[in-house]
Amino acid sequence: MSVSSHAHERIVDDRTEAAYRFEHAETVPPHAHPLGHLVHAASGVLSLITADGAWIAPSNRVAWVPAGAEHRHRAHGVTDMRIVYLSAQAAARLPSGPAVLSVSPLAREALLALTTPAPRSETARSHLRAVVVDEVASAPEQPLHLPEPRDPRLRRVVRRVERDLSTPLSLAELAAWAGLGERTLTRLFRQETGTGYRQWRLQLRVHRALVLLAGGHSVTDVAAACGWATTSQFIEQFTPLAGMTPGTYRRAAGRTSA
């Protein structure tokens, strides 16, 4: 399908489905919708950003945005974004907050069919929507969320780590740099992100790797930029979180949708 080159220009606009094309690094200002909706990148990669943090959704994932949740998007690579809006009844089967969920091949095909401007009866479209909801509702949430810290001390530490992932910093080094006790910093990470420093940093590195790979950088260069000692270590830690190897993901992110 050829998607309009203008972001936000609807090719399907009947209040239940929509499709947009975004250029690399294009963003959408904060907004909210009266209906909950599923957001899928048929090609490219999308970030979903709220006051609570950022989620990233490669092509084997779908982002869920509940009704009324203020959010914005950012495209990584030229991105073909597909949206399916859900009724309150269907939305009740999905998480109460924003999330990234696995999208099965069946759900992906149904979602793409729904958002392609082909003539279909309302009955056929209802069946496709039911397939999408059934598949996505049974999928587990994926650990592709980076919470945004509220505590200014931890925000300062987080920004320090984000500035340079190529040089790993230990929790002790960060605590000394920030003038905090190591126990205090450990507690802040647990309270503010729901996880420990090492797991949080791994998720940050995977987020950054997803963006760089979508931009066409090589697997070897991305591994080094994100602080992995070897390419094999990068592949080993990236694959469980992203659901595919870095090489497969890089090819999928650059795919042109039909």
Could you read off the pLDDT of 221-252 as tens digits, one per residue? 999 999 999 999 999 999 988 888 999 988 87
d(CA 210, CA 196): 21
Q: Does pLDDT of 25 surpass 70?
A: yes
Sign of CA dihedral 85, 90, 94, 97: positive
| 100-116 residue pLDDT tens | 998 899 999 999 999 98
Here the tokens at position 79 are: 């991105």
Share of the chain above pLDDT 90, in %: 65
Asked whether 65 and 41 are in contact (CB, 8 A), the reply is: no
Which domains are seen in the chain, by residue range? Answer: 17-137 (2.60.120.810), 149-253 (1.10.10.60)
pLDDT score of 5: 39
What's the mean per-residue pLDDT of the chain? 88
Please state the rounded mean pLDDT for residues 210-215: 87
213 CB-contact burial (10 Å; exposed 0-12 / middle 13-18 / buried 19+): buried
pLDDT digits (tens, 9 = 90+) for 50-85: 998 999 888 888 999 999 999 999 988 888 999 999
Residues 89-110 have a mean pLDDT of 93
Confidence band for 142, pLDDT divided at 50, 70 and 90: confident
CA distance 100 to 65: 9
